[in-house]
A and B are shown apart, each in its own frame.
Chain A
Amino acid sequence: MQKFTKLSSIATPFPRVNVDTDIIIPAKHLKSIKRTGFGEHAFETVRFDSEGAPIEGNVFDCERYKDANILITGDNFGCGSSREHAPWAISELGFRCIVAPSFADIFSGNCVKNGILTVELPQGDVDALVLAAEAGHEIHIDLEEQTVLCQNAKYDFEYNAAHKEMLMAGLDEVGQTLRASKAIGSYEQKQKAATPWLFTAD
């Protein structure tokens, strides 16, 4: 997984609330058995009309935000379905960091596993960043310091320590957990005695 330490980029403003994962990537596009190819359908209803023609001026395709690696958006972003295809699709649009007042739990977990940083800031700060994004200002994210810098403003954000370590090191989580296989083994021995009906196959 790609490491995440610092990121400086212009940002795409998309201040909509309750953006669900069906908006990020509609179910009809989930039929691939690969992790790639979802970007072209990302935010389909925002980018294309019902005939499939591009919607003029949508923030995801317009020239102005073409190089943005940061998405500034609304409350409860990523709610709904658990599909990891959502962060896969967002990655393919070039975003490595999403800033919002709040994120749905499953979605933010899925982001960490794909090297995407989710930054939660109060609504007022997000509003300011939306304006900055619209004005084309560069935004600087520093995960180590847990800060967002934009023009003369500095915003601190909270972030889960374990997730920070994973992102900064670009860790393979499965490999990391397998280092605890001894503890997992002794837990299973204990549970076989406590709840034997859960180990019927042995």
Chain B
Amino acid sequence: MSKAMLQSMPQTMYDKIWANHTVEERAGGTALLYIDKHLVHEVTSPQAFDGMRAAGRSIHRPDSIIAVPDHNVPTKDRHLPNPDPMSTAQLTALEANVKEFGLNYIPMDDKRQGIVHVVGPEQGFTQPGVTLVCGDSHTSTHGAFGALAFGIGTSEVEHVMATQTLQLKKARNMRVTVTGSLPLGCSAKDVALAIIAEIGTAGGTGYVIEYAGPVIEDLSMEGRMTLCNMSIEAGARAGLVAPDGKTFAYLKGRPYAPGDDQWDAAVAYWQELPSDHDAKFDKEVTIDGNAIVPLVTWGTSPEDVAPVTGCVPFVAEFEAEAKQEAVIKSLEYMGLSEGQLIKDIAVDRVFIGSCTNSRIEDMREAAAVIKGRHVADRIIEAMIVPGSGLVKLQAEEEGLDKIFTDAGFQWRDPGCSMCLAMNPDKAGAGEHVASTSNRNFVGRQGPGARTHLVSPAMAAAAAIAGHFVDVRDFIRGSS
């Protein structure tokens, strides 16, 4: 096939970004892919830096990296010594490594510090059309800008540091189109959960998902990040949304975004990225956005989703024997019974935060529900953890922190926190947690903890009521 013919073939956005970054084609659909941007945190990098040192290698492009601690930083009492010596060892190692290798670094006491996937976009580091990686599976978040962004393992972190490339096999193209418009009380989190419920946690394995349709176009940049963040929970290593006017407006003037002298050229390049109208996708899924309702997970896999108005399913509803066994195990772990109403699940702890839902819009969404109300007596702890120091400052400027603390919520410092409980923020065994994070896996939020994934508005409403409740009733004021 001639080059001219190849260029005239309709391409998806993923095809275009892949082609733009191919350094060398290899056998069997594999390529050496150039990586533009690399985010580094304290947990998955120390062994990579060690490998670099051991081999006497230098970092190919130090300017392509921002390092920031997030996974195990404490979210309170930061002025005191860190109580966990193992965490301290990782935080100290990161600081020493960035110094030794000469990298951009945002330390814990910097107001820009936060979760890598909140910091990258906020700094304008995340841009349309780039390849962006991080040793964290939720790197898919950055696809909200039309960046090809995906999580990598520690060996790959080292590979990118040393070579600025990865050896990768091209994924297939999937498009998920969400039609209609989102009903009142629903947000991007419900869209993400609805998609995972539809295609399953392995539905996107081997694919890059492009999200399209009016519901996606209507989402804010924050909402698109929430959606792309959970692509990995559907099995897809990356998610993508076509960049548009909202994307450009978000980026303009941010520290790492193209400056005035290069802005027009960059926008012109970005406008070429969206999939050609006749591009072919290997798999197409359509979701009716009008039919989406506030959702709650009941099991230990993100595909275990029920409407808040519904109930825990019966084991017999599942066809596959292996899934039936998994459901039995899940219900036992979660302490739930078949047919139990979702609204009857009492909540013990509430966590609003994580790279899925800790941006300013999420804070506002929670505050709108919380304002003038109070956390229920039975709640052991209700915690709001902003995604970055800048989100925290913005929320405080808007007076949201006051709304939260008046209602009995704790207002913390930024970090990954109880999403994965690597720091002291944990749930106890048997406790039900209304959580805006991304994974309801066994033990994820602490040994024996029972996680229910929900939107910020639903988590806020559960904190007020002490059990799951339809946030639409709150909004209508009839509760």
Contacts and interface: CB of A to CB of B under 8 A. Distances in A.
Interface of A: 15-18, 20, 22-23, 26-28, 30-35, 44-45, 50, 74-76, 79-85, 87, 102, 104-106, 109-110, 113-114, 160-162, 173-174, 177-178, 180-181, 183-184, 187-188, 191, 194-198, 200-202
Interface string B426-456: 0001000000000101111001100000000
B420 interface: yes
Contacts of A87: 153
A84 B154 contact: yes
Contacts of A183: 23-24, 32
Interface in B216-254: 232, 235, 237
A200 B256 CA distance: 9
B57 A33 contact: no
B72 interface: yes
Given A17-B322, A174-B162, A84 B44 contact: yes
A110 to B, nearest CB: 4
Contacts of B72: 31
B135 A82 contact: yes
B90 interface: yes
Interface in B57-85: 57, 60-63, 71-72, 84
B275 interface: no
A80 B136 CA distance: 10
Contacts of B26: 162
B164 interface: yes
B324 to A, nearest CB: 10
20 contacts: A15-B322, A16-B325, A18-B202, A18-B301, A23-B443, A31-B84, A33-B47, A80-B232, A80-B439, A84-B44, A84-B153, A104-B235, A110-B156, A113-B155, A174-B51, A180-B23, A184-B163, A196-B262, A197-B258, A197-B262
Interface residues of B, number: 82
A114 to B, nearest CB: 7
Nearest to B24: A183
A162 B130 contact: no
B68 to A, nearest CB: 17
Contact of B201 (A18, A181, A187): A18
Contacts of A44: 443
A113 B32 contact: no
A128 to B, nearest CB: 15
B162 A27 contact: no
A82 B163 contact: no
Contacts of B90: 31, 33
Contact of B444 (A27, A177, A194): A27
Nearest to B52: A174
Interface of B: 23-24, 26-28, 30, 32, 34, 36, 43-44, 46-47, 50-51, 55, 57, 60-63, 71-72, 84, 86-87, 89-90, 93, 127, 129-130, 135-137, 139, 150-156, 158-159, 162-165, 167, 169, 171, 201-202, 205-206, 232, 235, 237, 258-259, 262, 265-266, 269, 301, 320, 322-323, 325-326, 420-422, 429, 439, 441-444, 447-448
Nearest to A44: B443
A113 B167 contact: no
A119 B58 CA distance: 35
B18 to A, nearest CB: 14
Contacts of A105: 171, 205-206, 235, 237
A32 B232 CA distance: 25
